[in-house]
């Protein structure tokens, strides 16, 4: 409403607002009538290896992120900020070591389980997305996909785009968890 008032009242033309929202809401939302269609969408990019090392240093965890571990960690989480933060949190609390988080199995499930279950539940609630995502996972490599399904899977963070029409699973953690 404030945005619309700017067209009518000069005082509102000076008002600026930043609105942050998650794209997973688009699963059950009619994007043709979205209240979020005003402004410029800015997508949070994946963190680089250098950025993850800097974050680890700020947490006092830089000794755990040596050359071998940083490569394995980046392969596991793909630099996705939420997944990086979950690991940093557990490492900082000294609940786990990075080697334990990188080891497939129970520790990975404890660290990422709630997040993975949430994604799985969202996919189960939307069978059309589940079928397509299972195809992407089964292919194990980049494949063509565009349209609303790609947008929704990307909004969930499950896939990343490689060019205009090619997509792949966003990270190794998702690839392993969702393998049939």
CA-wise closest residue to 133 among 114, 111, 150: 150
pLDDT in tens, 39-68: 676 778 899 999 999 999 999 998 999 988
> What residues does 106 pair with on adjacent strands?
none
CA-wise closest residue to 34 among 166, 155, 131, 171: 155
pLDDT in tens, 81-140: 999 999 999 999 998 999 999 998 888 889 999 999 999 999 999 999 999 999 999 998
Is residue 98 within 8 Å of 64, Cβ to Cβ? yes
> What residues does 167 pair with on adjacent strands?
143, 161
At 162, which helix (H) or strand (E)?
A: strand 159-162
H/E/C letters for each residue in 20-33?
CCCHHHHHHCCHHH
């Amino acid at each position: 409403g404030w945005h619309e008032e700017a067209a009518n009242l000069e005082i509102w033309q000076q008002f600026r607002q930043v609105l942050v929202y998650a794209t997973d809401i688009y699963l059950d939302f009619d994007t043709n009538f979205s209240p979020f269609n005003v402004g410029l969408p800015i997508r949070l990019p994946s963190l680089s290896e250098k950025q993850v090392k800097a974050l680890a240093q700020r947490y006092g965890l830089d000794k755990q992120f040596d050359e071998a571990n940083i490569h394995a960690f980046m392969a596991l989480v793909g630099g996705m900020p939420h997944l990086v933060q979950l690991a940093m949190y557990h490492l900082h609390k000294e609940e786990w070591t990075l080697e334990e988080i990188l080891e497939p199995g129970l520790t990975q499930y404890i660290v990422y389980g709630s997040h993975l279950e949430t994604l799985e539940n969202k996919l189960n609630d939307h069978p059309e997305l589940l079928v397509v995502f299972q195809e992407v996972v089964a292919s194990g490599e980049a494949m063509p996909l565009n349209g609303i399904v790609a947008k929704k899977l990307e909004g969930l963070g499950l896939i990343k785009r490689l060019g205009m029409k090619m997509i792949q699973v966003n990270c190794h953690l998702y690839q392993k968890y969702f393998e049939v």
